[in-house]
Chain A
Amino acid sequence: MSKGHTHVITPVSTLFIVFGTLFVLTILTVVTARMDLGAANTPIALGIAVLKASLVIIYFMAVRYNTPLTKVVVVAGFFWLLIMFGLTMGDYLSRSWLGVPGR
């Protein structure tokens, strides 16, 4: 199981590069939200948020140094969230197709 072990310690430079990127992305999300991009506004906002969250998870939470088991749990957690969103919206969006009362 636990092998010879080099516990990798995140260098300060990495912390600050990630910090700077998160800072810039926060400003970018405000700038793009103020532009009228039509249907593209929401995907851009969500894309930036997912990118920021991924940076926090991979570097600040140091998931990249964790065991494969922990990585699977992390990915599964978000995957299950998407299942909940997908199935729930699949239900609500398709109800009107039947044309019966009770929506």
Chain B
Amino acid sequence: MADSHTTGEGVMPGGPMAGHAVPHVHEHHDPNLQHHFYDMDQQLEASTLGMWVFLVTEIMFFGGLFMAYILYRHWYPGDWAAASNHLNVWMGGGNTLVLICSSVTMAWAVRCAQIGSRKGQIVNLIFTILFGATFLVVKYFEYAEKFEHHLVPGPHFDPALPQQQQLFFSLYFIMTGIHAAHMVVGIGIMLIILAMAWRGKFGPKYYGPVEVSGLYWHFVDIVWIFLFPLLYLLGAHLGAGGAAH
């Protein structure tokens, strides 16, 4: 347990710690080490594990929507394939590539924190935020197009289309909408991490916040990796995707 603290720390100002009940030597501790952890490694392990436990709840959260998707797609395969062809494959596919770019800059930012490159962190985090913002801008134009084409569920939904297609668009908007909300939160987190990186907070000994918020960012990317083929490519084999109106 605390064995790593009992060696090599003979320079105690108060002499040998004969009467001390607590073996921790505080002046040797990293200021970023919270007092309830033994060392930096344990702190990093605990935060990584904690983030993953949160991400498991996120898996189940999105999982419920994917469950609804599976069931309705199973019930109405033809209508869903036709509805899928209203989506713009180029915008969806382009956004997939944009998110992959954002993930690689995110992973690179973590690496830069680990090797102590402040400049590398800042550049990569800015690119991550810019890619995330690009995704949201493209999403805005996609949503606007759906409003123009009367594909938004509700009283103005194109009456010529079967109700089952309205169901598809309900799930499309809920799933991509919640995903977009996660992107907005992710950008907010990255702005905070960027501000911390700017002040030189991270280095080889302390990079937990970059790593852990990176896990969240990658998770949101993974959700999109599944959303793209399941929503956009469902009916692509029926004809030129995205052209049917």
Task: Give me the interface of A with B, judged by CB distance under 8 Å.
Answer: 1-2, 5, 7, 9-10, 12, 15-16, 18-19, 22-23, 26, 29-30, 33-37, 41, 45-46, 48-49, 52-53, 56-57, 59-62, 66-67, 69-70, 73-74, 76-78, 80-81, 84-85, 88-89, 92-93
- Residues on the B chain within 8 Å of A22, using CB: 100, 103
* B142 vs chain A, min Cβ distance (A): 16
Interface 1/0s, chain B 70-109, versus A by CB < 8 A? 1100100000000000000100010011001101101110
* B217 vs chain A, min Cβ distance (A): 9
Given contacts A9-B111, A88-B67, 16 further A-B contacts (CB under 8 A): A1-B1, A12-B111, A19-B101, A29-B229, A30-B89, A33-B241, A37-B237, A49-B226, A49-B229, A56-B103, A60-B218, A62-B211, A74-B52, A77-B52, A84-B67, A85-B67
The bracket for how many chain B residues form the interface is 35 or more
* B contact face: mostly helix, strand, loop, or mixed: helix
* A96 vs chain B, min Cβ distance (A): 12
A12–B108 contact, CB under 8 A? yes
A34–B241 contact, CB under 8 A? yes
Interface 1/0s, chain B 32-62, versus A by CB < 8 A? 0000001101100100110011011001100
A56–B55 contact, CB under 8 A? no
B56–A76 contact, CB under 8 A? yes
* A contact face: mostly helix, strand, loop, or mixed: helix
Give complex CA distance A84, B69 in Å.
Answer: 13
* B10 vs chain A, min Cβ distance (A): 21
A15–B111 contact, CB under 8 A? yes
* B30 vs chain A, min Cβ distance (A): 14
Chain B, residue nearest A29 (CB): B229
- Residues on the A chain within 8 Å of B233, using CB: 29-30, 33, 45
B222–A1 contact, CB under 8 A? no
If A15-B107, A15-B108 touch, does A5 touch B225 (CB 8 Å cutoff)? no
Chain A, residue nearest B96 (CB): A26
